[in-house]
Amino acid sequence: MLVSEHDYQRTLEYSFSALGMLKRAKIPPYPHFYELCYTYASGINEQLNERLNMLLGKDNALSMENVLQVYREFFDNPSDLESQLTNVSQEMSYKIDAVNRAMDEAIDTAEGYSGSLEGAANKLNTKLDEAALQKLAAKLLAETKQMQEANQNLEEKLKVSKQDISSLKRDLDTARRETMLDALTKIPNRKSFDQRLKQEFEAYEQHGKQFSLLMMDIDHFKAFNDNYGHQTGDQVLRLVAMTLKSNIKGRDHAARYGGEEFAAILPDTDIRGARQIADKIRKAVHAKELLKRSTNQKLGRITISIGAAQVHRDESIHELIERADECLYTAKREGRNRVVCETDEVFRNSKVA
């Protein structure tokens, strides 16, 4: 490819500028650091330049911390959500520090200007000739102009920082929400379930707000994986999750509990209401016929077993989960594709046995 003399000279200047930035900061010109500085010198990424300008010191030189921070943000793009949370939190901290530095500089400038005004006032209390007055006026005018420029600079920095912090806050909120979702099924995960169950339990202990718990397990799930492969197994999990989500309403909270097991927290719901919701979910799942996407082959219907329990006074979260689990296991033993509640005779008999 032929390169014009103009393009050659321009890219050469970018290269010298990038190397100069690294040299002044005594940062080794590793390829990833050079890439960052070259991108900055070329100005092709306006957002990167704005971010880096906010982090540059008074001597307009980089620090290793700044280089690593900006490189991770614009070039590394971690997929791990915990890493994203860490990076966004760090960015938020850096932004707040930048605002604090800008405020400190403005305070220093204001204090200097205040001192100049006080000095001028003292001089005006003495007899000054016309030349001295003109000199004093010129000095105050220059310092007033400097103060105005400092205020304008502060306003611009605060405006940029406000926009960046708002953007970072949105990123942080998004990342936090995603850490509470199961990656495969896109419904709340075990962490989200544990937090919500704790909240409902505390509300019950403090205010007597009743709730019930459903524990659900896909019947013969291992057979789907063994016979049709893990991709089909994943399809089954997604289908059940979608059906579960579409059949609970309001403040009800469905989650993937682990493996092929799901759970649902039902606020303001007693055991009778829990049975009705559980049977609605069971029937909705059974109504779905699984198809192999590649061939449209019918693979049969999915069924789930469900155990339902209502919170009791003076019990722990673990005891509630354990009771709902025991109801689930009873449903499995009784033939699967059914709902068993803690009030059912078949469950009470199993406890006696």
Type of residue at 38: Y
Do residues 327 and 216 lie in contact, with contact meaning Cβ atoms separated by under 8 Å? no
Distances (CA, A) of 263 to 19, 127, 188, 196: 57, 87, 10, 12
CA 274-278-282 angle, 5° bins: 175
Angle at 278 between CA 272 and CA 283, to 5 degrees: 130
Q: Report the alpha-carbon distance of residue 196 to residue 244 in Å, rounded.
A: 17
Nearest CA to 201 among 308, 310, 307, 41?
310
Distance CA 127, CA 51 (A): 52
Nearest partner of 218 among 241, 196, 201, judged by Cα: 241
Would residue 205 show up in a list of annotated catalytic residues for this protein?
A: no
Q: Which of 260, 261, 315, 334 is catalytic?
A: 260
Q: Would you call 349 exposed, middle or buried from its count of C-beta atoms within 10 A (0-12, 13-18, 19+)?
A: exposed
Active site residues: 260
